[in-house]
Structure 1
Amino acid sequence: MSKKKKSQEPSIASRRGVTSLEEAHTWLAERGIEDIECIAPDMAGVVRGKMMPTEKFFSGPIMTMPSSIFAQTISGDYPPDDDKFQHNPTDGDIFFRADYSTLTVVPWESDPTAQLIHDAYTKDGIPVETAPRNVLKRVLQLYEDQGWEAVIAPEIEFYLVKPNTDPDYPLEPPTGRSGRPEAGRQSYSITALNEFDDLIDDIYDLSEAQGLEIDTLIHEDGAAQMEINLRHGQPLELADQVFMFKRTIREAALRHSMYATFMAKPMSNQPGSSMHIHQSVLDRETGQNIFSTKDGEASPAFLNFIGGHQKYLPAVACIMAPYVNSYRRFTRNTTAPVNLFWGHDNRTVGLRVPNSKPAGRRLENRVPSSDCNPYLAIAASLACGYLGLTQKLHPDEPKTGYSSHVMDALPRGLLEALDLFSECEELGEVFGEKFVNTYRAVKHEEFETFMSVISPWEREYLLLNV
């Protein structure tokens, strides 16, 4: 069935998750599951964990891993200790408890296999501050303490590219059914989407098997650039889905001899890839959207939420744009945001208010890139809104015209962004000192690794000219 005809019924969510170890035992037995992948997202959103036979899982369902997994860089290194970052010198174990609501199959494995996301705790049962899933839970608890419930809907962009085994060579678009790579921009083109019919069908099938619910799938501006929109819902569940979707899309692409990449700027002559986050906040008692008044107008709380983003997004840019490559996406006169202006149905600003009915009033944060850790990016965006709500911050006037040529407020590089994050006391209280120091140390180490590599630009323009 093609992606234009395929529809995912709400009942597919029943294919994901149970409520207890006993229910998990029944669920796994009914499906003949032989192995379980016990997994957790690390600081980069990489899948870490252990695979074990089902019988071993039930004989001792508490998993342990070294504490260093939450201080590992994207290149597999570890930052050195300094006056702020003090890594556990013995690299002792941390303990992982299964969140049974995330239990689902791994449909691309040849043997019947399940996957189960775990949360990290100390031996005393205290949530590990540097575990990204715990970071998001910490922010959501702030909302709950105020009597609020956050609702989000993420949109994730990615590129399909030809397999590339030599990093010295640029990436190229793959060939589709026609045998030719795309030429020119093909935004929203059904014909361009049809070039990858078989792959897209696999994405739908693998997603459905895991209970992952796709709202829409479109072709974006870039050559073989796609976007998947997820249905709105609870932030932790949606972060889990993005975490699993990235893995799923990569696996589906490999089936068709392609790579799927979530790099923010994989090709210099193509648009960057984002993860836009639509956000609203409900009153937990009434279920009403606090962004709208009884007469349907925008509420003061909505403006406070926007004001919080304008003030604090520069300080969490290192989370929204976590790598050196991420800042290449912020280019003037493109679809990427270069400012923190806001406006109604205006895609040339960083903060867009989509057209909606009062009950659906929301803010779209267009700053995060697709390479971000979904747990941390969602936590950071909601933290900005929370601070705006509690401090009653006010935004500037909305922009009504074209604004993509005006660069404003966003840092231009990773080091500048890290300084803003580590110096912001309000965000330090939200995220905790341990997380802030660890994140800063990891990203500084990644930057040093980047600086050890000589780029083609340097060889091109400096070799014989300086």
Structure 2
Amino acid sequence: MQVQSPTGSTQEEAHAFLTKYPEVQGIDVIMTDCHGIGRGKIIRRHELEALFASGRPMPASLFGQDVAGDDVDGTGLVLHDGGGDKRCWPVPGTLGLQPHLNRGQVLVSMYEPDGQPFCADPRPVLERQIAAARQAGFQPMGAFELEFYLVDSQPDAQGRYLPARYPLTGRRSLNRNTMSVDELDEMSPFFDMIYTGAEQLGLPLESVISEYAVGQYELTIRYRDLLRAADDVIMAKRLIRSAARRFGMEACFMAKPFGQEAGSGMHLHLSLADADGRNLYADQPSGQLSPLMLHSIGGIRHTIGDTMLVLAPFLNSWRRFASVVYSPASDTWGVENRTVALRVPNSSANTRHFEHRVAGVDANPYLVAAVTLAGALHGIAQRSDPGPAAEGNSYAHAPTNQLPKTWFDAIERLAGSAFMRDVLGEALHQAFVAIKRAEYERLALDVSETEWRLYGFAV
């Protein structure tokens, strides 16, 4: 059995946590599946040092389940090798306190007995792309923005989820209140809990705004190493969810929970640095945009059609594209233009980067970061030309590259993509396609209330 952690985690980290928090009795152990859902267990205090010393077994079939936790036989992971466990090891730097729960939390990743990453774990997919980038002399840097809704924990008499009441006043507003600071003040007890928890978890949360829909908010996360940026999303979503429950609310991370309101995105800001931390996407001395960044954008434009199932993994994800309000399902790019898929913000010349705006907040951040970085590296290797930047409202222009039009199209596009097979690896590629086909078939058999209302007694 592997006795040295392949992640580089050490028992000193566990010992320091136990010493600092003598009152903590439980620790959440979180492994992220292909959907971005945390699977794992809550261990007791006396088990923590053993986790860091020798890992913890968990079933590999967790990566062969659909979003509801049901096994999908076509993944090749159900009862694989007789259904035995693999060993999960802590991710260094992710052990921290959840003060509102008085429990610890640590992220883990799955490994084979010889210390190699398990083939269907999404976190190592991103690690492989980062290793490729470093081999080429690049250090990927990034940050995510998270949009989400806060709703009452229980639906009303008609089965509808309403915007959550404000914890400070008990009021409920049905107004849009875009970027209202007063709305944030009324929600401040909740966000105070979020920021307190983030500080204890080492989670660098930054600004919060009231977004472009009733009950919708956005949190930004500080720019840093791309792998830790993806870890940040996993921890932030868990923190937001658990804090919301303490106020009688639920945090909703569906991409399009309300058909007439704005969808929720997970925008990824990305750049490449050198070994000394200098931004390689910085503007040229002439003031022109970096050729390296433009090649990166060109590569992503070339590959984005193959990646759409990662960016929009569920049926609901595609409802976000039915309305073009700040939801660019395209391959367009531009400078300081929120109607494009790949936006170059109007930042300083030295902090220049681009923002990938297509992914929904329901997507797996490890996979979103992996396919984005892979596309950028592809573009750099091929010296891809991004084409002219879009001007004005790009929603009126069709994508240059033919993109999938539906969830089913995206499933079949990814299934046949050599690029995505290479990025995900053979095992995860097979599993991801099988899971999405199974989810598609399940939903294809579900007759909605709207269908009954429209067709039930009319045709």
* TM-score, structure 2 normalization: 0.92
Q: Deviations over 1:272-322 (max 9, x none)?
A: 000001111112256342453344421221111111111111111111111
Q: Which residue of 2 aligns with 1:96?
A: 88
The equivalent residue for 1:351 is 342
**Alignment partner for residue 113 of structure 2, among 113, 120, 123?**
123
Partners of 1:23 and 1:333 lie apart in 2 by 47
Q: What is residue 210 of structure 2 aligned with on the other side?
A: 219
Q: What one-letter code is carried by the residue in structure 1 that aligns with 2:118?
A: V
Q: Which residue of structure 1 aligns with residue 455 of structure 2?
A: 462
Q: Structure 1 225/366 Cα, relative in aligned 2: closer, same or farther at 3 Å? A: same
Alignment of 1:14-413 (within 5 A): 20-32=10-22, 33-59=24-50, 61-81=54-74, 88=80, 90-110=82-102, 113-164=103-154, 169-176=159-166, 177=168, 179-284=170-275, 287-408=278-399, 409-413=402-406
* Cα distance, 1:266–1:65 mapped onto 2, change above 3 Å: same
Partner of 2:5: none
**Contact 1:329–1:336 at 8 Å: present in 2 too?**
yes
The C-alpha deviation readout for 1:18-39, integer Å capped at 9, x for no partner, is 9621242133123113333222
The alignment covers a number of residue pairs equal to 447
In 1: Cα distance, 2:396 partner to 2:160 partner = 28
**Inter-partner Cα distance in structure 1 for 2:157 and 2:426:** 36
CA contact (8 A) 2:206 2:221 kept: yes
Q: Tell me if structure 2 keeps the 8 A contact 1:297–1:358.
A: no
Contact 2:28 2:42 in 1 (8 A): yes
The one-letter amino acid paired with 1:231 is R
Conservation of the 8 A alpha-carbon contact between 1:339 and 1:406 = no
Q: Deviations over 1:23-81 (max 9, x none)?
A: 42133123113333222111111111222223233245410111101111111112223
Please, which moves more after superposition, 256-265 or 31-40? Answer: 31-40
Aligned 1:421-440 pairs, distance under 5 A: 421-440=414-433
User: Does 45-54 or 242-251 show the bigger shift?
Assistant: 45-54
**Which is further off, 49-58 or 302-311?**
49-58
Distance 1:201 1:247, change over 3 A: same
1:107-137 C-alpha deviation (Å, 9 max, x unpaired): 2324xx3211112111222111211111111
Q: Which amino acid aligns with 2:253?
A: F
Secondary structure in 2 matching 1:90: helix
Letter in 1 for 2:353: R
Greater Cα shift, 224-233 or 179-188: 179-188
Choose 382-391 or 186-195, whichever is displaced more.
Answer: 186-195
The answer (yes or no) to whether the contact 1:332–1:406 under 8 Å persists in 2 is no
CA–CA separation in structure 2 for the residues paired with 1:26 and 1:130: 32
On the 8 A contact 1:103/1:117 being kept in 2, the answer is yes
Rounded to whole Å, the distance in 2 between the matches of 1:128 and 1:168 is: 45
RMSD: 2.3
The CA deviation at 1:169 is 2.4
2:142 touches 2:229 (CA, 8 Å); kept in 1? yes
Q: Does the CA-based 8 Å contact 1:81-1:87 persist in structure 2?
A: no
For the residues of structure 2 that align with 1:128 and 1:274, how far apart are their CA atoms?
Answer: 29
Paired letter, 1:366:
R
CA distance in 1, matches of 2:277, 2:175: 49
Q: Which amino acid in the other structure matches residue 377 of structure 2?
A: Y
Call closer, same or farther: CA 1:420–1:56 in 2, change over 3 Å.
same
Preserved contact between residue 308 and residue 393 of structure 1 (Cα < 8 Å): yes
Rounded to whole Å, the distance in 2 between the matches of 1:275 and 1:296 is: 30
Q: Secondary structure at the match of 2:325?
A: coil
| Structure 2 Cα separation of the partners of residues 49 and 167 of structure 1 | 35
CA contact (8 A) 2:163 2:174 kept: no
* C-alpha distance in structure 2 between counterparts of 1:374 and 1:166, whole Å: 32
Contact 1:348 1:402 (8 Å CA) reproduced: yes
Query: In structure 2, do the counterparts of structure 1 residues 42 and 388 end up closer, same or farther at CA, with 3 Å as the change threshold?
Result: same
CA distance in 1, matches of 2:335, 2:438: 40
The answer to which of 362-371 and 171-180 deviates more is 171-180
Q: Aligned AA for 1:90?
A: G
Distance 2:245 2:253 in 1: 14
| 8 Å contact kept, 1:85–1:437 | no
Contact 1:149 1:284 in 2 (8 A): yes
Q: Distance in 2 between matches of 1:195 and 1:27?
A: 34
- Name 2:4's counterpart in structure 1: none
Cα displacement string for residues 410-438 of structure 1 (whole angstroms, at most 9, x for unaligned residues): 42322211222222212322221111111
Q: Which amino acid aligns with 2:20?
A: E
In structure 2, distance between residues paired with 1:31 and 1:48: 24
Aligned to 2:3: none
With over 3 angstroms needed to count, the CA separation of the structure-2 counterparts of 1:372 and 1:445, relative to structure 1, is: same
Mean Cα displacement is larger for which, 240-249 or 20-29? 20-29
Give the counterpart of 1:449 among 419, 442, 445. 442
Question: Matched residue of 2:453: which SS?
Answer: helix
CA distances 1:159-180 after superposition (whole Å, capped 9, x unpaired): 0011236998232212225554
Distance 1:93 1:165 in 2: 39
Letter in 2 for 1:53: R
Between the aligned residues of both structures, percent identity stands at 32
What TM-score do the two structures reach when normalised by structure 1?
Answer: 0.90
Distance (Å, rounded) in 2 between the aligned partners of 1:397 and 1:264: 30
Q: Which runs of 5+ in 1 are unaligned?
A: 1-17
SS of corresponding position for 1:334: coil
What SS is found at the alignment partner of 2:48?
helix
List per-residue Cα deviations over 1:136-176 (Å, max 9, x = no partner): 11111110110101111110000001123699823221222
